[in-house]
Amino acid sequence: MTVVFVLVHFRYFAWRYTDFRLIIAGLLVGLVLDSFYSAAGLMAYNGQTMSPFAPWWILCLWINFTLTLNHSLSWLLDRRWLAALISAIGSPLSYFAGQKLGALNWLQPEMLILVTAATWAIAVPMLLTLASHWRKQERERQHAMA
């Protein structure tokens, strides 16, 4: 489904160059963060095949998430402090939902809450900064070609 989503996205939405770069950045951030949570013993993914690396499906979620940054979440591009706050609150909640759905197990709940809140509060504004920068570059390139 992620492949279909990406294909449809690139067919119908602007900012293709920026979005492609965001996918790569999001995959790297997601791989590092979610693998770290697993390697540090904060949580364990059910069905994880290459421990401690994050499973493929969590990387699909990162792809889908990064494609929202430049579109439905673009209102946060100039509100990175708000993105950090929302991320600090929302990230532990999303991992809690993942546990309730049976996708992962919290091994150190208090520490996982603190670490996900802190790392996402840094990662999401960083990704928004990249989106803003790359979007500006893409806009300048489009105007230069026109």
Q: Where are the domains of the chain?
A: 22-138
Q: What is the pTM of this model?
A: 0.92
Residue 146 has what pLDDT? 63
Instruction: Identify whether the C-beta of residue 91 lies closer than 8 Å to the C-beta of residue 28.
Output: no
- For residue 71, which amino acid is it? H
102: left (phi over 0), alpha (psi -120 to 50) or beta: left
Collapse the DSSP code of 82 into the 3-class scheme (helix H, G, I; strand E, B; otherwise coil) and give the result: helix
Instruction: Identify whether the C-beta of residue 91 lies closer than 8 Å to the C-beta of residue 61.
Output: no
Residue 143 has what pLDDT? 74
Residue 30 has what pLDDT? 97
Residue 122 has what pLDDT? 98
The low-confidence residues of the chain, meaning pLDDT below 70, are: 146
Residue 35, CA distances (Å) to 32, 59, 98, 105 in order: 5, 10, 15, 14
Positive or negative, the CA dihedral 87, 30, 123, 111 is positive
